[in-house]
Structure 1
Amino acid sequence: MKHLFLLMFIVLFGAGAFAQVKTDSVAYGRQRAKINAMLAARRLKFGQYDTSLTKRSGIFHMQTKNDIRRSNQILMDIVDTDDEIFIELKKLFDYRTNQLNYTAFQKKQIENTAREVEKERIAYMKTINSFRAQNEALKAQTAKQNEDYQSRQKLYIIAMAMLIVSVIVLLILKRKRSN
């Protein structure tokens, strides 16, 4: 009777767990099918046990020793089936645990990759910002150099103009003295 309640609990719990389990694992699917087949066989044996309890082949419609032995044999078969179901359920839960561990491992890998990508993204942003700052500094330096160049160019033009004017003035003065 204890096994019956335990089995019913496992069947009910297992049915809920089976409804929630959605996996691509072929081995996991085969294991589930095997357990479901074993549970169906157990239900049949329990049905046989139930009918064997009501079977009375003795005098005055009483149960004989053979009837009781057959019932006990069916009950022992049910217990053996229950033990096999427990073993197979453990295998099934091991598959599920391994899948959960594998999923956790994948999740950890994804998180690590995400962290690395974030670090790289931040490093790229820092590099881009430093390049922008360098670009702005170079633009400012270029603008200053252009202003300095234009100022010097104006000075050179003024100096050249004064030189030309002074040469012309000197030539004019030299001609006036020579005449």
Structure 2
Amino acid sequence: MFSKKNLCSLALACLLPLSLGATGAQAEHGTQLAAPEVPQPTLAVAPAQEPTPVYLDPEVIREHESFSHFAHRRVRSMNEVMIGGRHSMQVHKGADGLYRASFRAIDLDGVVCQVRRSESNPHFFVGNLIYKEQVLQSVAKSAEACRQGPFEPVSEKPNRLIFTSGRGGGWR
């Protein structure tokens, strides 16, 4: 007779070719046995919180106002001490006999201030001061007349300065 151990081995040996044969037959006919459905656990995923839009963030609005005042004071100060500024106007007589007076100045109407939260630390803010440095020139028949103007921009150079601020800590 067969022992229990031999009977189990014999039963497995008989079943294995049958299951392999069924899989081969299914592949030939394009059919497939349905696997028993096992319930999968569902995970409740919270919707991703999007950052508050800048125009709705009261801290960014407050810091933008603070930065705008700071930036405009800074630009006026830079205009007063600028090398080649109005206080050191250059006057030259051209080959055509006309005088040309020129100086450098920052376009105060074109100043742009941008404020955002720092990407690395949302308690800090980053401010961009964007401005254009212009060369203004006046042309007249006499040196005194050209010093009086009117002055027109003849060239401009864009500039950007970046400042940082802690929450209510002032701009530097």
Q: TM-score normalised by the shorter chain: which range applies?
A: under 0.3
Q: Which has the higher contact order (CA 8 A, sep 6+)?
A: 1
Instruction: Please state which structure has a larger fraction of its residues in helix.
Output: 1
Instruction: Please state which structure has a larger fraction of its residues in strand.
Output: 2
Instruction: Return the index of the structure with the highest Cα Rg.
Output: 1
